[in-house]
Amino acid sequence: MGTEIERKYLVNGDTWRQGAEQLPCAQGYLATGPPVSVRVRIMGGNAMLTVKSGKTGITRAEYEYSIPVEDARELLSTACTSAVIEKTRHLVQYAGMTWEVDEFHGENNGLIVAEIELESEDQPFESPPWLGPEVSHDPRYLNSSLSKHPYREWADG
């Protein structure tokens, strides 16, 4: 079984940008659950179909499969049940770990979150100075939620 253990945080400042690798990303949802979400994503020159369990929290079942980019483009334009998310993923190295900092565009413009994938829920890691509050347990920050209820619409956003 595929498992994803991921913690998610808001970001303070922009010092994380120094030396970050950037990848454009478009992703949409074929199903947003519960109990599962099914996502199609084009990032850089690759496309993936991903199935995740619908639970919030830091551990979820995850299954990812490579698909042709043309198939992904067609799915994004014809089969998504909600808005396609546009973002730039920045890969940031810090203290021997890779952080994925997602800078959202369009209806989610202004939202920047950092994610770190872990081997276990209790794996220690060093927090970078630009890390803000943890939002791992807030379902509003799930990409599947952002596709239906974008950051721009939040009263406190």
Of 8 and 57, the structure prediction assigns the larger pLDDT to 8
Residues labelled catalytic = 29
In which domain, by residue range, is 102 found? 3-153
What average pLDDT does the structure give for the chain?
94
What total of structural domains would you count in the chain? 1
Each residue of 46-80: pLDDT tens digit? 999 999 986 667 999 999 999 999 999 999 999 99
d(Cα 96, Cα 125) in Å, to the nearest integer? 9
- Confidence bin at 1 (pLDDT 50/70/90): low
In this prediction, residue 39 has a pLDDT band, given cuts at 50, 70 and 90, of: very high
pTM here is 0.93
Q: Can you give the CATH number for the domain in which 33 is found?
A: 2.40.320.10
Q: CA 154, CA 140: separation in Å to the nearest integer?
A: 9
- Calpha distance 107→95 (Å, rounded): 33
Is residue 87 scored above 50 in pLDDT? yes
Per-residue confidence (pLDDT) for residue 33, from 0 to 100: 79
Q: Which pair of tokens denotes residue 82? A: 């909600």
What are the DSSP calls for 82-139, one per residue? SPPEEEEEEEEEETTEEEEEEEE-GGGTT-EEEEEE-SSTT---PPPTTEEEE-TT-G
Residue 36 pLDDT > 80: yes
Between 33 and 119, the more confident residue is 119
pLDDT band at 145 (very low <50, low <70, confident <90, very high): very high
Residue 35 has a pLDDT of 86
pLDDT digits (tens, 9 = 90+) for 91-140: 999 999 999 999 999 999 999 999 999 999 999 999 999 999 999 999 99
pLDDT (0 to 100) of residue 157: 47
pLDDT at 54: 60
